[in-house]
Structure 1
Amino acid sequence: MQRLWNALHYSLAGLHAAFTCEDAFRQEALLATLLIPASFFLPVNGVGRALMIASVLLVLIVELLNSAIEAVVDRISLDRHPLSKRAKDIGSAAVFLSLANVLITWICILFG
């Protein structure tokens, strides 16, 4: 039980750190607070709603991972390095694809 309690504490600390230190995470969290409740007012079935919500939550998950990558890269060195740029660009691309996934998923479900 202690391990689970500690894991919960670390997870909440990570969410707090992301929300207080990462502008992109705050913006995407705001998007989630708008889109997730909106999904309950749209005329879609349960599976469609679940996919819509999952696509939004995926953005938050990917943004957390991207922020973690950026923090580690910055911790290693603030010097410009091609591998650091590549790591940060790939993380950014993952966030972009997750946002595109939200758009495609919602369009397919609402207009498909």
Structure 2
Amino acid sequence: MSSEVAVTGLDGSALKGQTGWRRIVHAFGYSRAGLLAAFRGEAAFRQLLLLNAVLLPLAFYLDVGKVERALLISVCVLALIVELLNSAIEATVDRISLELHPLSKQAKDLGSAAQLVTMSLIALVWAVILL
């Protein structure tokens, strides 16, 4: 007999455990733990933080309009978001199995491609606004 419990007829909220403000407080803690895990375990995330440490102050220094400034900042933050999602995909794939499998490779490659597109977007937006 499996140790897993079959759950039927639930929308999933019964498994969450917390509601209201307690849920928000717990969610903040989980998010904090995720950010710390990314910082400690993902070199790419730390590199993006360093890039943001350069680009974000520059976005405020440049003589551009509010919309342009918002775009410069948004694409930089987007790269952090995509890296967090890419790291989550990689961790999930590795949790399932470290065995080489074409679908595992595809999932990891797609996450990496998403980050490449995001980095290209940063270059494009910054170039359009500055040039």
TM-score (norm 2): 0.83
Sequence identity (%): 55
State how far apart, in whole Å, the 2-side matches of 1:38 and 1:71 are. 33
Higher RCO, 1 or 2 (CA under 8 Å, sep at least 6)?
1
Moved over 4 A (4+): none
Task: Point out where structure 2 has 5 or more consecutive residues left out of the alignment.
Answer: 1-20
State how far apart, in whole Å, the 1-side matches of 2:48 and 2:96 are. 27
How much does 1:34 deviate?
A: 1.0
- For residue 83 of structure 2, the aligned residue among 63, 68, 71 is 63
What is the count of residue pairs matched by the alignment? 111
- Is 1:25 the counterpart of 2:38? The answer is no
Aligned to 1:16: 36
Task: Point out where structure 1 has 5 or more consecutive residues left out of the alignment.
Answer: none
**Secondary structure in 2 matching 1:40:** helix
TM-score (norm 1): 0.97
State how far apart, in whole Å, the 2-side matches of 1:3 and 1:37 are. 34
For the aligned residue pairs, the C-alpha RMSD in angstroms reads 0.5
Aligned to 1:34: 54
- For residue 7 of structure 1, the aligned residue among 27, 32, 35 is 27
Answer with 1 or 2: which has the greater Rg.
Answer: 2
